[in-house]
Amino acid sequence: MQRKPVVLILTSSDERGGAAENLAAAIRADGEFNTVVLDESEYGRRPLFGRTAAVAFGADKRRLLASGAASAGRLLKKGGRQGKLYGRNRRVANALKRYAPEYVLTVTPYAQAAFVEAKRRSGADVRSVHSVQAFVLPEEEHPAYAADMYLVENADIKEALVSRGIPSKHVVVTGLPFDAPEVTPIEMEEGKQELGLPRTPTVFVNADGRDAVEIMGLLADQGDIINIVCYAEDVKLLAALRAKADNAETRSNIVLLTRRDMFDEYLLMSDIVVTRYEPVIIYKCFKAGKPVIAFAKTAAATRNLDYLAERKLIMKASSDIDVVALIYKFMQTDTASEYVKNGRERTAMFSTANTANYLAAHLGG
């Protein structure tokens, strides 16, 4: 029995939202390819663990992305070599030999940069696809310009890549590789009942550190007008949120969520989502029909949120106190339905299955 060709998917620990596994599952389901997913724990610079691994990863990421601009366009032809293979480059090159992939798919800047460097140094001849996980072309993704195909969320990123010399036919608008079901009013009512949520509007808060504590405190001060679900991703944050909740006048309308496997279920049963900039959360909200209030902590996040806010896809909060005013704006006007409509229309034609079908049609053997 002849084995199916393989797609090698490279990711790294800074990926959020499971893009690599989502694409791997869709590609396998399409039926033409098998998939292998590797992160830098398997191909990285050195096999380290714990805090040391995080420090090494950060240093290697900065070096790779800083040098990417100079090296992105200088891939060697088949059979060429440049420098000695060692460490990460050797492990990536060995993976290419072992799996003989039909093509390599990368979902983070680090993964793409690592592949570009290993390919250049080993002289490997394999096609690559880079999935851009953003709404605006990241300024630091210079190594991505050495890919053979790009999967992007929108036509503006495509135009930005074309302006950098990438042929238009090599950039495909596929949306982001995150799916979520559209939830009907009846499903909302039944789902809230199953989760024990009251009928009052539920606000889902996805934040960290001081922002999570401050936002939950501001929402708790609104009394029983709204119900609050706040996700705590670590023990320290959970303790701070519990202390804030215990001092609230109405404790019964606050849910502190600690299980990641319940994250999407509560998200889908919420009426409004407040989140730090995370493309996966925002994109899922578009698909599920959830109005989004988002805030930024970095320049890159600000650029993305400004882009989305200008198109009335999300509302951007400039400070924690802004969140409350924006929630009431969604609750008291028809604004929420306008934003929900915009998000659904933006994502209606995209899915991971459609992306897998496209890759099979254009990159199949």
Angle at 43 between CA 42 and CA 47, to 5 degrees: 65
Q: What angle do CA 201, 247, 296 make, to 5 degrees?
A: 60
Q: Mean pLDDT per segment of 10 residues, for the chain of length 365 residues?
A: 85 91 96 94 68 72 66 41 70 94 94 90 92 89 75 96 91 97 91 91 94 92 89 91 82 87 95 97 97 95 98 96 95 92 97 96 82
3-state helix, strand, coil in the chain (%, to 5): 50, 15, 35
Q: Cα(108)–Cα(141) distance, rounded to whole angstroms?
A: 9
* 3-state secondary structure at position 227: strand
Type of residue numbered 193? Q
Q: How far apart are CA 216 and CA 239, in angstroms?
A: 13
- What pLDDT was estimated at residue 310? 98
The three-state (H, E, C) secondary structure of 18-55, written as one string: CHHHHHHHHHHHHCCCEEEEECHHHHCCCCCCHHHHHH
Give residue 19's pLDDT: 96
Q: How many CB atoms lie within 10 A of CB 28?
A: 15
| φ/ψ of residue 7, rounded to 5 | -110, 125
Instruction: Write down the residue that tokens 């503006």 correspond to.
Output: 156
Helix (H) / strand (E) element for 229: namely strand 227-231
Q: Is residue 131 a contact partner of residue 35, using CB atoms and an 8 Å limit?
A: no
pLDDT of residue 81: 45
CB 332 within 8 A of CB 326: no
Structure tokens at 201: 């509007």
Q: What pLDDT does 142 receive?
A: 60
Query: Which of 4, 57, 2 minimizes the C-alpha distance to 31?
Result: 4
Distance between CA atoms of residues 243 and 257, nearest Å: 15
Query: CA quadruple 183, 19, 295, 244: dihedral positive or negative?
Result: positive
The DSSP line for 154-210 is SHHHHHHHHHTT--GGGEEE---S---PPPPHHHHHHHHHHHT--SSPEEEEE--HH
Question: Position 125: which residue type?
Answer: D
List CB contacts of 306: < 8 A, sequence separation 6 or more.
316
Q: How far, in Å, CA of 339 to CA of 156, rounded?
A: 20
Which of 129, 106, 107 minimizes the C-alpha distance to 16?
A: 107
**By the 8 A CB rule, do 5 and 34 touch?**
yes
Of 273, 267, 318, nearest in space to 296 by CA: 318
Dihedral sign from CA coordinates of 329, 330, 332, 336: positive
- pLDDT for the residue 79: 40
**Would you state the pLDDT for residue 246?**
84
Coil, helix or strand for 119?
Answer: helix
- DSSP designation for 6: E
What is the pTM (predicted TM-score) of this model? 0.90
Q: What is the pLDDT of residue 64?
A: 77
Q: Which letter does DSSP use for residue 226 in this model? A: S
